[in-house]
Structure 1
Amino acid sequence: MAILPSHNMDYRPGLFQPLVAVSSSPGTQLLDTYGKLFLLNSVGQEMSRCKTSIRRGQPSPVYKETFVFQVALFQLSDVTLMISIYNRRTMKRKEMIGWIALGQNSSGEEEQDHWEEMKETKGQQVCRWHTLLES
């Protein structure tokens, strides 16, 4: 299954606002999915976390939700935004479908480029699609 999260990010003084839109390839099975976002400091400690709502029984779920993290401009080079997508199973069991990381410990060049562009645009939204890494 190919999951492609689109991240529309901007930075305004003191606020970092990622918009997460996730879409899977056509013909996938129906899943109950949700996303978790973690903002980590330079040593990997959690600074903040958010969770999307659950999309029930959708083969191509889309999350158009905005999350706001309090981050000073000087901290943007030292933080990592981890985004994980989960399949919710019965009895509160969950299965990670995939993940990406943007920022200091980006999971790839495209993610790092997206982060750098977001920092440089100063308040304008930057939207890119990323392929999740399998867990």
Structure 2
Amino acid sequence: MFSLCYLPTAGRLTLTVIKCRNLKAMDITGYSDPYVKVSLICDGRRLKKKKTTIKKNTLNPNYNEAIIFDIPPENMDQVSLHISVMDYDLVGHNEIIGVNRVGSHAEGLGRDHWNEMLAYPRKPIAHWHPLLEAKRSEKEWKARTASFDSQGSCPSPRLPSSP
């Protein structure tokens, strides 16, 4: 669950990550160490990314953390937000639990939430968003935004493990 609020006079978009529930267990403990990463995308390129704090050993984290982006009103129809719920790992790669996208070019609820935010400026609009499957959506996302990712849709190379 997150809220969106846009202040057109200040050109400020605030995404407040409120909470997640029923996340997928990613660690052998049966829990995850989730955090939320938000990327500001314009014309297929990532302009900025910001993260919440990591909540240890939980599948139902509460955040209540605001992430602020400065976006002039004339650019609002060209940007979108890519929201990834990640599992923090001390060793190795952080794993994607699931993703979502909001913006005028997003599909379904992501577009509806964005349009509702624009229709009611200066008012926080909160909605629950289901996370998309990490494998499928990451592949689709990379295919659409290959211009900012030199890897294209290939997975990141992994270092060989030591004997």
Same fold (TM over 0.5): yes
Note the residue ranges of structure 1 that are not aligned, 5 or more in a row.
1-5
Which residue, 19, 25, 37 being the options, matches 2:22?
25
Amino acid at match of 2:70: Q
SS in structure 1 opposite 2:63? coil
Q: Distance in 2 between matches of 1:34 and 1:26?
A: 11
Q: Deviations over 1:105-128 (max 9, x none)?
A: 31x311101000001101111111
Count of matched residue pairs: 128
Q: Deviations over 1:12-34 (max 9, x none)?
A: 13100010123222895321111
Amino acid at match of 1:25: N
Question: What's the TM-score once normalised by structure 2's chain length?
Answer: 0.73
Indicate the residue corresponding to 1:124 in structure 2.
123
Report % sequence identity.
Answer: 26
Q: Distance in 1 between matches of 2:52 and 2:34?
A: 9
Report deviation, 1:104.
Answer: 3.1
Note the residue ranges of structure 2 that are not aligned, 5 or more in a row.
135-163
Q: Distance in 2 between matches of 1:100 and 1:55?
A: 19
Q: Deviations over 1:39-65 (max 9, x none)?
A: 011x21112110110000113112210
SS in structure 2 opposite 1:119? helix
SS in structure 2 opposite 1:118? helix
Structure ID, larger Rg: 2
Structure 1 consecutive aligned stretches of length 4 or more whose deviation exceeds 4 Å? none
Which shifted more, 10-19 or 83-92? 83-92
Amino acid at match of 1:121: Y
* More strand by percentage: 1
Q: Distance in 1 between matches of 2:5 and 2:53?
A: 21
CA contact (8 A) 2:23 2:97 kept: no
Higher RCO, Cα 8 Å, sep 6+:
1
